[in-house]
Amino acid sequence: MSIRLRLALQFGLIVGCTLLIFSLVIYAFTYQARRTLFTESLLGRAQIVGHVYLDGTNRADASRVSYRRYLRQFYRTLPQEEARVYNSQDSIVFYEGVLRTKASPGRLLAEARRLGWSVRHDAAYHQTVALRYRDAQRGTFVVIASSVDMDSERELGNLRLILLVGLLVSFVIVGVGGWFFSGQALRPMKRIVNEVDSITASDLHQRLSETNGQDEVSHLAQRFNSLLDRLETAFAGQRTFVRDASHELRTPLTALIGELEVALMQEERTPAEYHRVLRSTLDAARLLKDLANGLLQIARASDDPSQVPLTQIHLDELLLQAHEEIRRRHPTHRVDLEFSEADASQPTDPFVVRGNEALLLSAVLNVLENACKFSTDPPQPIVATLLTTPHAIRLLVRDQGVGMTLEDQQQVFVPFFRAENVRTVPGHGIGLPLTAKIMELHGGSIQVRSRLHEGTEVELILPVS
């Protein structure tokens, strides 16, 4: 079922139920009002009967003649009207109309004598009322009057017909109107669907047309345009990543192929020449391995955080482990470690964080590796400082190397980006992007501050466990 049809049906059902309840309430109030009015009319007839009987002659025939004359002067005769007067012994002393041979209405008489008056609804429109009538000389009587409310039956029948026809016409109008207005309301949605169908992966620059309104459809178009912005950025980053990765992979492969082709061009070569070719190809293979490992780590750091195993890690011990590895890789560089002292308000293990040990070790190694690679010659000391705050642990790595410009700092987290002044230094440009992803995965952040020819400071921020 389409949304348009569902909206039209729901709208019609709500309005139809409302009109039906409203019609039933009108009919119920009208029925009750006419019944009450007819009851008052019968009570008035009962008073007339009592007045005529008591003020007239003792002969019943004369009383009936006087009663009929009184009705002709002031009232009209009611359909199937009956009137009876009962004395204190529940015997009929006066009647007008058809005297039906049936038992005395003892309960009705008893209620009238006790309460002053009583009413009984014999059928839908037939009523019988009993009225207590007292006279100082002749005692207490009970006057009973009954009739059929033909006027109410006719008028309520007309009212039922009017309400029924009105409901049917209203249902038709509401159905047609609901179908039309639901189509009008869903027209922007249909336009959005058509525009979305025209957007493909090759033209993600297209956007949905937005209105100046503040309705839900406008908000949907704005959110979808924001999604397209993110998708376009992701696709552009993916294309750049694939292009740069292909370029980086092609360089060592080209060196490998070139060296092997040159080695095969000559039938005989000295062992020293073969040794040089093997060493060159080994260096290119190691370069390929490092690049492949970096790409794998980036993919791993981009995983869903819920799928990465996290444990309690002592960051100070991790920094010492990274320091030992950097000394092995760069024995000519000096890396000094500094640890802040924990005060009494801090926990016993102030450097404990929750994270993945392999990923965090890779992030720290990347930062220290960059500091060593981009240091000046002769290398200046590199300082790694581990600080604790009430809510975070900070690792600051400062070097006095070549530094970078402000424009380069804005792109250091783009995979395979390398600044102009360090293109001669071996590397692939994936260290800092990988570190940024690892920090994001652990709920932390990375900041880079640098000035050209004055050095660089990289700060890793991790939340306290």
Query: What proportion of the chain, given as a percentage, has pLDDT over 70?
Result: 79
Give yes or no on whether 3-156 and 303-463 have one common fold. Answer: no
Q: What is the pLDDT of residue 22?
A: 92
Proportion of the chain above pLDDT 90, given as a percent: 10
Mean predicted lDDT score pLDDT of the chain: 79
Query: How large is the average pLDDT for residues 390-406?
Result: 87
User: Pick the residue with more confidence: 101 or 285?
Assistant: 285
Confidence of residue 280 (pLDDT cuts 50, 70, 90): confident
Structure tokens, 347: 């926990």
Which CATH superfamily includes the segment(s) 303-463? Histidine kinase-like ATPase, C-terminal domain (3.30.565.10)
Task: State residue 58's pLDDT score.
Answer: 47
Residue 60 is predicted with a pLDDT of 47
Here the contacts of 237-243 (C-beta below 8 Å, separation 24 or greater) are: 237/415, 240/414, 240/415, 240/416, 241/415, 241/416
For the ranges 50-54, 70-74, 150-154, 426-430, the maximum mean pLDDT occurs at 150-154
Q: Picking from 1-5, 247-251, 388-392, 451-455, which range would have the lowest pLDDT averaged per residue?
A: 247-251
| Contact call for residues 423 and 417 (beta carbons, < 8 A) | no
| pLDDT band at residue 333 using 50, 70 and 90 as cut-offs | confident
pLDDT in tens, 38-84: 888 888 888 877 777 776 544 445 555 666 666 555 455 677 778 88
Q: What pLDDT digit, counting tens, does each position of 344-369 carry? A: 555 567 888 888 887 888 888 888 98
In this prediction, residue 26 carries a pLDDT of: 93
pLDDT 10s digits, 7-27: 888 888 888 899 999 999 999
The fold for domain 216-300 equals Helix Hairpins (1.10.287)
Q: Which of 33-42, 173-182, 199-208 has the lowest mean pLDDT?
A: 199-208
- Residue 73 phi/psi, 5° resolution? -80, -35
Is the per-residue pLDDT at 191 higher than 70? yes
Architecture in CATH of 3-156:
2-Layer Sandwich (3.30)
pTM value is 0.48
Mean pLDDT lowest among 71-75, 144-148, 253-257, 435-439: 71-75
With cut-offs at 50, 70 and 90, classify the pLDDT of residue 29. very high
- Of 100 and 242, which is predicted with more confidence? 242
pLDDT of 266 above 80: no
* Stretch 329-354: mean pLDDT: 77
Domain ranges of the chain: 3-156, 216-300, 303-463
